[in-house]
Amino acid sequence: MKKIVVFASGSGTNAENIIKYFAATEIGRVEVVFTNNPNAKVIERARNYGIPTEIFSKEELFESKVLQKINEIQPDLIVLAGFLLKFPEDIIASYPDRIINIHPALLPKYGGKGMYGMHIHKAIVGNKEKETGITIHFVNENYDEGNILFQKNVVLSGDETPEEVAGKIHELEQKYFPEVIERLLENLDY
Protein backbone atom coordinates (compact mmCIF):
# COMPACT_ATOMS: atom_id res chain seq x y z
CA MET A 1 0.00 0.00 0.00
CA LYS A 2 1.48 3.33 -1.09
CA LYS A 3 1.74 6.14 1.46
CA ILE A 4 0.31 9.60 0.73
CA VAL A 5 1.00 12.71 2.77
CA VAL A 6 -1.31 15.70 2.23
CA PHE A 7 -0.52 19.36 2.94
CA ALA A 8 -3.44 21.81 3.24
CA SER A 9 -3.96 25.28 4.71
CA GLY A 10 -7.72 25.79 4.67
CA SER A 11 -11.08 24.10 4.54
CA GLY A 12 -9.71 20.81 3.26
CA THR A 13 -12.40 19.74 0.82
CA ASN A 14 -9.80 18.37 -1.60
CA ALA A 15 -7.91 16.68 1.24
CA GLU A 16 -11.13 15.06 2.49
CA ASN A 17 -11.99 13.91 -1.03
CA ILE A 18 -8.54 12.31 -1.40
CA ILE A 19 -8.85 10.61 2.02
CA LYS A 20 -12.27 9.18 1.11
CA TYR A 21 -11.18 8.10 -2.37
CA PHE A 22 -8.15 6.16 -1.17
CA ALA A 23 -9.97 4.63 1.80
CA ALA A 24 -11.90 2.68 -0.85
CA THR A 25 -8.82 1.46 -2.79
CA GLU A 26 -5.97 -0.97 -2.22
CA ILE A 27 -3.34 1.18 -3.92
CA GLY A 28 -2.72 3.86 -1.30
CA ARG A 29 -3.76 5.57 1.87
CA VAL A 30 -3.41 9.06 3.31
CA GLU A 31 -1.10 8.62 6.29
CA VAL A 32 -1.18 12.14 7.70
CA VAL A 33 -2.37 15.65 6.90
CA PHE A 34 0.09 18.48 7.54
CA THR A 35 -1.19 22.04 8.01
CA ASN A 36 0.36 25.39 8.83
CA ASN A 37 -3.00 26.71 10.09
CA PRO A 38 -4.07 25.61 13.59
CA ASN A 39 -7.63 26.78 12.81
CA ALA A 40 -7.93 25.05 9.45
CA LYS A 41 -11.11 23.06 8.87
CA VAL A 42 -8.94 20.35 7.26
CA ILE A 43 -7.91 19.25 10.79
CA GLU A 44 -11.49 18.32 11.68
CA ARG A 45 -12.08 16.73 8.28
CA ALA A 46 -8.99 14.51 8.63
CA ARG A 47 -9.82 13.51 12.19
CA ASN A 48 -13.34 12.51 11.11
CA TYR A 49 -11.65 9.79 9.03
CA GLY A 50 -9.12 8.83 11.68
CA ILE A 51 -6.24 10.48 9.82
CA PRO A 52 -3.67 12.13 12.12
CA THR A 53 -2.73 15.76 11.59
CA GLU A 54 0.54 17.60 12.08
CA ILE A 55 0.29 21.33 12.76
CA PHE A 56 3.48 23.27 12.19
CA SER A 57 4.72 26.85 12.00
CA LYS A 58 6.31 28.49 9.00
CA GLU A 59 9.63 28.43 10.88
CA GLU A 60 9.35 24.66 11.45
CA LEU A 61 8.66 24.19 7.74
CA PHE A 62 11.82 26.01 6.73
CA GLU A 63 14.04 24.69 9.56
CA SER A 64 13.74 21.06 8.35
CA LYS A 65 11.53 19.99 11.28
CA VAL A 66 8.71 19.14 8.86
CA LEU A 67 11.16 17.28 6.60
CA GLN A 68 12.22 15.16 9.58
CA LYS A 69 8.58 14.19 10.21
CA ILE A 70 8.03 13.43 6.52
CA ASN A 71 11.15 11.24 6.50
CA GLU A 72 9.75 9.21 9.42
CA ILE A 73 6.72 8.38 7.25
CA GLN A 74 8.66 7.78 3.98
CA PRO A 75 5.70 8.72 1.74
CA ASP A 76 5.46 7.61 -1.86
CA LEU A 77 3.71 10.87 -2.75
CA ILE A 78 3.28 14.30 -1.16
CA VAL A 79 0.11 16.08 -2.27
CA LEU A 80 -0.42 19.82 -1.85
CA ALA A 81 -4.18 20.35 -1.69
CA GLY A 82 -4.78 24.02 -1.03
CA PHE A 83 -1.44 24.57 0.69
CA LEU A 84 -0.58 28.25 0.55
CA LEU A 85 3.08 28.46 1.60
CA LYS A 86 5.97 28.11 -0.82
CA PHE A 87 7.28 24.59 -0.45
CA PRO A 88 10.84 24.40 0.94
CA GLU A 89 13.68 23.34 -1.28
CA ASP A 90 15.00 20.75 1.20
CA ILE A 91 11.76 18.76 0.96
CA ILE A 92 11.66 19.16 -2.84
CA ALA A 93 15.25 17.91 -3.08
CA SER A 94 14.49 14.94 -0.80
CA TYR A 95 11.40 13.90 -2.78
CA PRO A 96 12.06 14.70 -6.45
CA ASP A 97 9.07 14.04 -8.71
CA ARG A 98 7.11 12.92 -5.65
CA ILE A 99 5.40 16.22 -4.77
CA ILE A 100 2.36 17.44 -6.67
CA ASN A 101 0.08 20.45 -6.42
CA ILE A 102 -3.31 21.35 -7.80
CA HIS A 103 -3.80 24.87 -9.15
CA PRO A 104 -7.26 26.32 -9.88
CA ALA A 105 -6.36 27.72 -13.30
CA LEU A 106 -4.80 26.60 -16.56
CA LEU A 107 -1.12 27.25 -15.97
CA PRO A 108 0.99 29.06 -17.00
CA LYS A 109 -1.80 31.65 -16.86
CA TYR A 110 -2.75 32.91 -13.40
CA GLY A 111 0.15 31.30 -11.58
CA GLY A 112 2.76 32.63 -9.20
CA LYS A 113 2.94 34.27 -5.81
CA GLY A 114 -0.41 35.54 -4.56
CA MET A 115 -2.39 33.67 -7.22
CA TYR A 116 -4.65 31.34 -5.29
CA GLY A 117 -8.32 30.80 -4.55
CA MET A 118 -10.68 33.69 -5.20
CA HIS A 119 -7.81 35.94 -6.34
CA ILE A 120 -7.55 33.74 -9.43
CA HIS A 121 -11.30 33.51 -10.06
CA LYS A 122 -11.72 37.28 -9.75
CA ALA A 123 -8.87 37.84 -12.22
CA ILE A 124 -10.36 35.34 -14.68
CA VAL A 125 -13.78 37.02 -14.53
CA GLY A 126 -12.19 40.48 -14.70
CA ASN A 127 -10.24 39.51 -17.80
CA LYS A 128 -13.33 37.98 -19.43
CA GLU A 129 -11.59 34.66 -20.07
CA LYS A 130 -13.48 32.20 -22.28
CA GLU A 131 -12.23 29.20 -20.31
CA THR A 132 -10.47 28.23 -17.13
CA GLY A 133 -9.69 24.94 -15.47
CA ILE A 134 -7.34 23.03 -13.21
CA THR A 135 -3.69 22.11 -13.47
CA ILE A 136 -2.02 19.32 -11.55
CA HIS A 137 1.75 19.68 -11.62
CA PHE A 138 4.96 18.59 -9.97
CA VAL A 139 6.30 21.04 -7.41
CA ASN A 140 9.66 22.68 -7.95
CA GLU A 141 11.40 25.62 -6.28
CA ASN A 142 9.21 28.20 -8.08
CA TYR A 143 5.50 28.84 -7.55
CA ASP A 144 3.39 26.95 -10.09
CA GLU A 145 6.25 26.23 -12.51
CA GLY A 146 6.77 22.47 -12.11
CA ASN A 147 6.11 20.07 -14.98
CA ILE A 148 2.43 19.77 -15.78
CA LEU A 149 0.88 16.32 -15.29
CA PHE A 150 -2.75 17.05 -16.11
CA GLN A 151 -5.04 19.89 -17.18
CA LYS A 152 -8.80 19.98 -17.58
CA ASN A 153 -10.64 23.01 -18.89
CA VAL A 154 -14.15 24.31 -18.45
CA VAL A 155 -15.79 26.76 -20.85
CA LEU A 156 -17.07 30.03 -19.41
CA SER A 157 -20.11 31.87 -20.74
CA GLY A 158 -18.76 35.26 -19.74
CA ASP A 159 -21.42 36.17 -17.22
CA GLU A 160 -20.27 33.99 -14.31
CA THR A 161 -19.41 35.51 -10.96
CA PRO A 162 -16.08 34.60 -9.34
CA GLU A 163 -18.07 32.38 -6.97
CA GLU A 164 -19.66 30.53 -9.89
CA VAL A 165 -16.24 30.04 -11.47
CA ALA A 166 -14.99 28.70 -8.12
CA GLY A 167 -17.85 26.19 -8.11
CA LYS A 168 -16.95 24.94 -11.59
CA ILE A 169 -13.31 24.58 -10.58
CA HIS A 170 -14.25 22.74 -7.39
CA GLU A 171 -16.20 20.17 -9.42
CA LEU A 172 -13.15 19.55 -11.62
CA GLU A 173 -10.87 19.24 -8.59
CA GLN A 174 -13.16 16.76 -6.85
CA LYS A 175 -13.46 14.56 -9.95
CA TYR A 176 -9.93 14.56 -11.33
CA PHE A 177 -7.45 15.13 -8.47
CA PRO A 178 -7.85 11.68 -6.85
CA GLU A 179 -7.81 9.96 -10.26
CA VAL A 180 -4.54 11.64 -11.25
CA ILE A 181 -3.01 10.73 -7.87
CA GLU A 182 -4.07 7.11 -8.35
CA ARG A 183 -2.50 6.98 -11.84
CA LEU A 184 0.71 8.47 -10.45
CA LEU A 185 0.86 5.89 -7.64
CA GLU A 186 0.30 3.08 -10.12
CA ASN A 187 3.20 4.28 -12.26
CA LEU A 188 5.79 5.19 -9.61
CA ASP A 189 9.25 3.88 -10.41
CA TYR A 190 11.80 3.19 -7.69
CA separation for the pair 117, 103 (Å, rounded): 9
Residues 6 or more apart whose CB falls under 8 angstroms from that of 93 comprise none
pLDDT for position 138:
97
Taking the chain (190 residues) in runs of 10, the rounded mean pLDDT of each run is 97 97 96 98 98 97 96 98 94 96 97 92 97 97 94 96 97 98 86
Prior bond to 52 cis, omega within 30?
Answer: no
pTM for the whole thing? Answer: 0.96
Known active-site residue 137: no
pLDDT for position 188:
78
Residues 6 or more apart whose CB falls under 8 angstroms from that of 189 comprise none
CA separation for the pair 53, 55 (Å, rounded): 6
